[in-house]
Amino acid sequence: MEINLKGKKALVTGGSGGLGRTIVRTLAECGADVAVHYNSDEKSASAVVGELKALGRQAAAFRCDITDFDSVKKMRDDVGKSFGMPDILIVNAVIQYEWKPLLEQDIKDYYSQFESCVMQMVYMSKMFIPYMRERHYGRIVVMNTECAAMAEPNCSAYTSAKRGLDGIVRVLAKEVGADNITVNQIAPGWTITDKERASGVNPAPGYVATVPLARRGTDKDIANMAAFLSSDLASFTTGAYIPVSGGRVMPAI
């Protein structure tokens, strides 16, 4: 048994970022052609596209502000014209900001997180699900976070937005299930990416002590789950919130 995405097209938001790059590579390794979304780092997006083409996959980079509906609409049009509508949609992009206690957090950070989590999901769904419905097929994988379950200090903007995202995903999974479209969430823990590897991995003993598997997760751990949920091996899984956190989050029944 293998994860086979041959003949599928994927669109990954935030595909030029740390986690996004690994997801993009992994989907390509499984046979998918990949549209790589970026907002500002065109150089990194072009480098990722080059990697995918070297693997023999079709790939292209598309710029978009995922918090702006008109920008998402333009990306939809551009992707459709030059790449082809995706069978697989990975909603991964999010605005980065400095985490502080709620009383110190800038109000604008709550808006940025809501826009880049909840509204991104709304915009991407409105733009791409109609085409999935036409084909009676789609796989949507959404990046959530262990923070949505843990609700730990200093991440109120992020946690509140991701919990709102969770509600959108669960409703959407019920609305589009009859169209053979699955909608699932991955909830990473504190993940090691290439950026941290380059600057030095934080051993984080205090955090690791709370992880049953006694290590931090890697971008590849997350990407492997994304590939599985994108495949027909997961064709009867939808509406799920799946922690990939080494057991740190264990949703109860």
Please pick, among 97, 131, 137, 158, the residue that the annotation labels catalytic.
Answer: 158
Residue 211 maps to which CATH number? 3.40.50.720
Specify if 121 maps to a domain: yes
Is the predicted pLDDT of residue 96 greater than 90, yes or no? Answer: yes
220-238 tens-digit pLDDT: 999 999 999 999 999 999 9
- Measured at the alpha carbon of residue 43, what is the angle toward residues 5 and 23, in degrees to the nearest 5? 25
Is the predicted pLDDT of residue 253 greater than 90, yes or no? Answer: no
Average pLDDT over residues 195-204: 91
Containing structural domain, residue 201? 9-242
Specify if 3 maps to a domain: no
pLDDT for the residue numbered 183: 98
Specify if 103 maps to a domain: yes
Specify if 4 maps to a domain: no
Percent of the chain with pLDDT over 70: 100
pLDDT for the residue numbered 48: 96
Is the predicted pLDDT of residue 131 greater than 90, yes or no? Answer: yes
Is the predicted pLDDT of residue 139 greater than 90, yes or no? Answer: yes
44-68 tens-digit pLDDT: 999 999 999 999 999 999 999 999 9
Q: How far apart are CA 5 and CA 130, in angstroms?
A: 21
Residue among 166, 169, 9, 187 nearest 89 (CA): 9
Specify if 251 maps to a domain: no
pLDDT for the residue numbered 143: 98
Output b/e per residue, 28-39; b: 16+ Cβ within 10 A: bebbbbbbbbbb
Specify if 136 maps to a domain: yes
Domain count, the chain: 1
Specify if 108 maps to a domain: yes
DSSP-derived secondary structure for 104-134: TS-HHHHHHHHIIIIIHHHHHHHHHHHHHHH
Average pLDDT over residues 132-161: 97
Is the predicted pLDDT of residue 6 greater than 90, yes or no? Answer: yes
Average pLDDT over residues 77-104: 97
Report the chain's terminal Cα–Cα distance, integer Å: 30
Specify if 250 maps to a domain: no
Average pLDDT over residues 197-225: 96
Asked if 158 is an active-site residue, the reply is yes
